[in-house]
Structure 1
Amino acid sequence: MASKFQTKEDKDKQLRTRKGHDMTWSCDKHGEPITFFCKQHKIPICHKCATKVHQKPCELDDIEDVIFERRGNLEEKQPLIEETKLLLQKVESKINAVSSSSSKHLQTVNDKLQETFEDKLKNVKEREVNLIRVINEEADEEIRKINEKREKRIKDCNIDIEKEQTTIKEREARLLSDTKTISDEVTKKINDLTSKNQHALNTMKNIESTITRINQQDETLVNEAPQVLASIEENLSLNFHQDVSGCLDRIQSEVERVKFVEGEVGGEYCCRIDGYIGKWELVKSIHIPSGVNKPWVRGLISDDEICVEDAKNHDMYVTNINTQHTQKVIDGVSNMGITSCAPLNRNVIVCGKWRCDWKGDRLDGCITLYDRQWKVIRDISIPRNGGGNSVYVDVDRDGMILAAQYGQSNIYVINPGDGKIVNTITMQGKKVRGGIQGLSSGDIVVKTGRNEFTVISRSGEKKAVIHCDEWRESECRVDKLTDTIYITYRVAGKTYAVDQVSRDGIIQAKTIVEYVRSDRVIYLSPCLVTPSGNLVGFDGDKLLLYKKTFIL
């Protein structure tokens, strides 16, 4: 009877030779080889388990078939894993390329910036030397008196030059700080992407390692393969490499927008880091005194001085956005008011006007030059061709006055030195319906409809029409350094918004700022652009100062 029972050696031999596999896997309960896999209970079983516990409705598969199927499923995923690894490695290469490209571009901007300021410091030093030489030559005529005067003038000269050098260095330091802030933001974003990409690579490597491990033992393979397959599907469905690649493209696009821009606005040298879209943040609110009954913003006359008219009595005020002080500068009259103003240089302001009693063929006194104490320097007139009673002005890149009458097609270029018209630009098929703005390119932006602005060349040729149905009531102002156009418009009810538009008429950003109009104001005021690159909106009670920050 004993000969009928298998010995332990016979059982091990049977397990090892089954279907060519080196199998020692047996049932924990019966000690017999694992031969089946129960689909209903999702467990491997021996022959006794199958006959005693897992009869119908249980559905059984041969354990070798299950092992073969699951090993095959894992092997099928290996090419996809390899492909994903290659994609992630390409992303890693792109990260390095974009990081290097961004650093080089920003370094180029820094180099240009530093070169410009070095030249300016050199010019200032040369002027200092020339001034001292002239002073010394004058001092030779009368030794005692002139020596005293010379020493004083040298001291004053040195103080002035030192102040100017300090200003230049402060500007340079501020702009270098701006580029560093941008560079730090780019570096932070790239480091974050690098970390995430490395984590994804490590995940793929861990999955490979797990597959290698569970393939070494059938029991482990059967038990852990479903979880591994689920992990593979989850990680591959994230499309992480595509997201990282898209983010890198956005970083490179935004960095390449960054520029060092410079130019002269109102006779003053201006410069900044700009070109990018960024995000506008409210940094200051300046209240207009209640004595200004119906405030209406008419223009910008320096980086920090805003002209505000009282639409009720036509008094003119100037508000300093740094000191937050508002001062009356012109007493209004019933039959005349100011439509627009702009700085000609650091000493002179030009204003356009409206009058209700103009007669004849000339608009006499429709343009007035004022000094900084708001004393009249000169009145200028232009031809009257019927149309409206308002004249709008601006200053072009050459320091010439641009002037246009409402309802007419002519724009006059006027020499401020003698008040004479040097050129007449006639728009083709359009008429002036509001303010005009000179661009640094020489082109002119003209309001030609309630929600339409036309960019024309110096010959009057139409170059772009800027229009949007959302702009119900609208006004525009131009950034004189970048030629970016900002359209202020009424959205609905009491809400005002500002859109950013290129000089080609392309809307670059919608609703970059938004604010609610108070009941105090009756007319839409434009959002002004300061030479330093800030925006100044007006809600009827407060001037709202916005500053742009670089974002990714």
Structure 2
Amino acid sequence: MASRFPEGNQVQLRPRKGHDMKWSCDKHGEPIKFYCKKHKIPICHPCATKDHNQKPCELDDIEDVIFERRRQLDEKRPKIQELQKQMEALNTKIKSTSTSGSTHLRTINNNIQASYHDKIKSVGEKENRMIRVINEEADEEIRLVNEKREKRIKDCNTERENERQIIKDKEAKLLSDAKKISEVVSKKIKDLNNKNQLVINTMKNIESTITRINQHDETLVNEAPQVLASIDENLSLNVHQDDSDCLDRIQNEVERVKFVEGEVGGEYYGRIDGYIGKWELVKTIHIPSVVNNPWVLGLVSDDEICVQYVDNNGMYITNINTQHTEKVIDGGVLITSCAPIDSNVIVCGKERRGVTSGDRLDGCITLYDRQWKVIRDISIPRNGYGSSVDVDVDRDGMIIAAQRNQSNIYVINPANDKIVKTITMQGKRVVGGIQDLSSGDIVVKTGDNEYTVISRSGEEKAVIHCDEWNWWSECLVDKLTDTLYIVYWVTARNTIAVDQVSRDGIIQARRIVEYVKSDRSDWVSPCLVTPSGNLVGCDGDKLHLYKKTFIL
């Protein structure tokens, strides 16, 4: 074979057609004559002349090259043969070593297997022991879990049964109240019916008497004056009109009766209400002497009343069921109002005396848990002087707050303390407490004897006024019926009275309850309305619990 030029491209040599197998150049078809030492390829005479005739190419005769190459290979042959012998001996040694090593390693392997067989057996036995322990422990844990589960299920069943019983008891009470009202109505109608039947029978007797005496002149002359007198007497009674009016009153009063329900402070309540009725004193609870100069602030549940010792601002809770009073806050800050947000949180409005500067009212609204531990304070913008804030909670659980002597009322989300709405009254200021209605309207004390109902947009919807009310008057709202109860001091009689007012501003009943004011307190406390529908008044020495009954 010969090479192609330039460097790096190899020329393939092949036998020439029509000739014997002579080595020839594939490119020129000429016999190979030379060997280029630079390019290390065999070449023909034309290749040598055209492509390899310039230095540094150095050419050797091809036959000399072939001879030299054969000589070099022949010189290597003894060494190759010696190496072959050495490799064959090495191969024999490899086989021997392999056999010997395999035998030795097999022995080691057997020893390993024998040694670790016992260890694996021991591990297996240990595993079985541990599994038994685990199973025993698991069985015990399962037993304990089952016991715990059964106890929890039992406790759950007990709790739910208690809840069902409470609901049944409440239902039974409501049905009993409804039955009592029904019995009152039935008795009144029965009395009217008996009275009406008596008159009907009397008229029949008179008519029969008239027929009888008309048959004889002598009888007519003698008995007619008596019959005429009886007729005039019955006609003068105007029984028909009186009984008709009474029936109208019965119908009106019955139509007032309704079942009201809703949530107050996150708790559900339901009762029979809507009628005017009559309030009867059912319990009197003495306020402990340690609470000097007491002032009732509000309710935090159906039976828990907040009472403040005005002289040192200590806060007490009186349970109207157990009649037990407990101190919950040492004092230091005058609390103006309080209301439950839910079963866990209570909000209080406060007055911080001596604070006269700054653009925020800090520490005038505080959230407490049910153990009366401070959760956090909520601040609102300060408008002018003063640092007294009143609060209430609306049907959505939002806090309603207002700075006294200002026109703004704030709706605050207790979840993040953000003011979600600012309500501005036009031409009026908050001079006392604020109360939320279920409609979303707000009742605000705007004068000594004036209360204003405003919408969430600040629109004035009703003005409630009475000359007999005074600076001491306070207003509380029944959260289920939106009925307003105004408590005031009748100074001429030294009594405290309560008037009932509709949310539209109509005075429905005057002095539904009245009790003598004690000299122990300088204040007129609000008349509280419990979610179950009772009134709780405070004369400064005692709490009076009133219950409403249906009358006709």
Q: TM-score scaled by structure 2?
A: 0.73
**Structure 1 counterpart of 2:328, which letter?**
V
Alignment of 1:271-286 (within 5 A): 271-286=270-285
Corresponding residue SS for 2:178:
helix
Alignment of 1:120-519 (within 5 A): 143-333=142-332, 336-358=333-355, 359-472=357-470, 473-493=472-492, 494-519=494-519
Instruction: Please list the CA deviations of residues 49-101 of structure 1 after superposition, one character each: whole Å capped at 9, or x if unmatched.
Output: xxxxxxxxxxxxxxxxxxxxxxxxxxxxxxxxxxxxxxxxxxxxxxxxxxxxx
Instruction: Please list the CA deviations of residues 412-432 of structure 1 after superposition, one character each: whole Å capped at 9, or x if unmatched.
Output: 111111211111111122110
C-alpha distance in 1, partners of 2:526/2:483? 14
**Structure 2 counterpart of 1:511, which letter?**
R
1:544 and 2:544 aligned: yes
In the TM superposition, structure 1's runs of 4+ consecutive aligned residues that sit over 3 Å from their partners are 142-145
Is the contact made by 1:387 and 1:406 (CA closer than 8 Å) also made in structure 2?
no
Instruction: Please list the CA deviations of residues 262-293 of structure 1 after superposition, one character each: whole Å capped at 9, or x if unmatched.
Output: 00000000000000000000110100011111
Instruction: Please list the CA deviations of residues 87-120 of structure 1 after superposition, one character each: whole Å capped at 9, or x if unmatched.
Output: xxxxxxxxxxxxxxxxxxxxxxxxxxxxxxxxxx
Is the contact made by 2:401 and 2:412 (CA closer than 8 Å) also made in structure 1?
yes
Is the contact made by 2:451 and 2:465 (CA closer than 8 Å) also made in structure 1?
yes
Corresponding residue SS for 1:185:
helix
C-alpha distance in 2, partners of 1:293/1:469? 31
C-alpha distance in 2, partners of 1:357/1:211? 90
Corresponding residue SS for 1:423:
strand
Q: Which moved more, 1:142-151 or 1:245-254?
A: 142-151
**Structure 1 counterpart of 2:495, which letter?**
T
Q: Percent identity?
A: 78
**Structure 2 counterpart of 1:515, which letter?**
Y
Q: CA deviation at 1:195?
A: 0.5
Q: CA deviation at 1:312?
A: 0.7
Q: CA deviation at 1:387?
A: 3.5
Q: CA deviation at 1:234?
A: 1.2
Q: CA deviation at 1:149?
A: 2.0
**Structure 1 counterpart of 2:515, which letter?**
Y
Alignment of 1:36-51 (within 5 A): none
Q: CA deviation at 1:146?
A: 2.8
**Structure 2 counterpart of 1:291, which letter?**
V
Instruction: Please list the CA deviations of residues 120-158 of structure 1 after superposition, one character each: whole Å capped at 9, or x if unmatched.
Output: xxxxxxxxxxxxxxxxxxx99x74443222111111110
Question: Which residue of the partner structure matches residue 127 of structure 2?
Answer: none
Instruction: Please list the CA deviations of residues 219-276 of structure 1 after superposition, one character each: whole Å capped at 9, or x if unmatched.
Output: 1111111111111111111111001000000000000000000000000000000000
Corresponding residue SS for 2:200:
helix
Corresponding residue SS for 1:172:
helix
**Structure 2 counterpart of 1:258, which letter?**
V
Q: CA deviation at 1:465?
A: 0.6
Number of residue pairs aligned between Structure 1 and Structure 2:
412
**Structure 1 counterpart of 2:447, which letter?**
G
Is the contact made by 1:394 and 1:402 (CA closer than 8 Å) also made in structure 2?
yes
Corresponding residue SS for 2:509:
strand
Q: CA deviation at 1:523?
A: 1.2
**Structure 2 counterpart of 1:282, which letter?**
L
Instruction: Please list the CA deviations of residues 484-506 of structure 1 after superposition, one character each: whole Å capped at 9, or x if unmatched.
Output: 00000112242110000000000
**Structure 2 counterpart of 1:510, which letter?**
R
C-alpha distance in 2, partners of 1:315/1:230? 74
C-alpha distance in 1, partners of 2:198/2:293? 61
**Structure 2 counterpart of 1:475, which letter?**
E
C-alpha distance in 2, partners of 1:387/1:250? 52
C-alpha distance in 2, partners of 1:263/1:455? 21
**Structure 1 counterpart of 2:348, which letter?**
C
Corresponding residue SS for 1:252:
helix
C-alpha distance in 2, partners of 1:282/1:192? 28
Is the contact made by 2:296 and 2:305 (CA closer than 8 Å) also made in structure 1?
yes
Corresponding residue SS for 2:198:
helix
C-alpha distance in 2, partners of 1:388/1:545? 35
Q: CA deviation at 1:537?
A: 0.4
Corresponding residue SS for 1:312:
coil
**Structure 2 counterpart of 1:450, which letter?**
D
Alignment of 1:99-118 (within 5 A): none
C-alpha distance in 1, partners of 2:215/2:143? 105
**Structure 1 counterpart of 2:279, which letter?**
W
Q: TM-score scaled by structure 1?
A: 0.73
C-alpha distance in 2, partners of 1:163/1:244? 48
C-alpha distance in 2, partners of 1:503/1:214? 63
Q: CA deviation at 1:365?
A: 1.1
Q: Which moved more, 1:465-474 or 1:252-261?
A: 465-474
Q: CA deviation at 1:388?
A: 2.5
Instruction: Please list the CA deviations of residues 485-544 of structure 1 after superposition, one character each: whole Å capped at 9, or x if unmatched.
Output: 000011224211000000000000010000111111111111000000000000010010
- Structure 1: 5+ residue runs without aligned partners? 1-138
Is the contact made by 1:387 and 1:408 (CA closer than 8 Å) also made in structure 2?
no
Corresponding residue SS for 1:483:
coil
Is the contact made by 1:387 and 1:405 (CA closer than 8 Å) also made in structure 2?
no
C-alpha distance in 1, partners of 2:417/2:220? 93
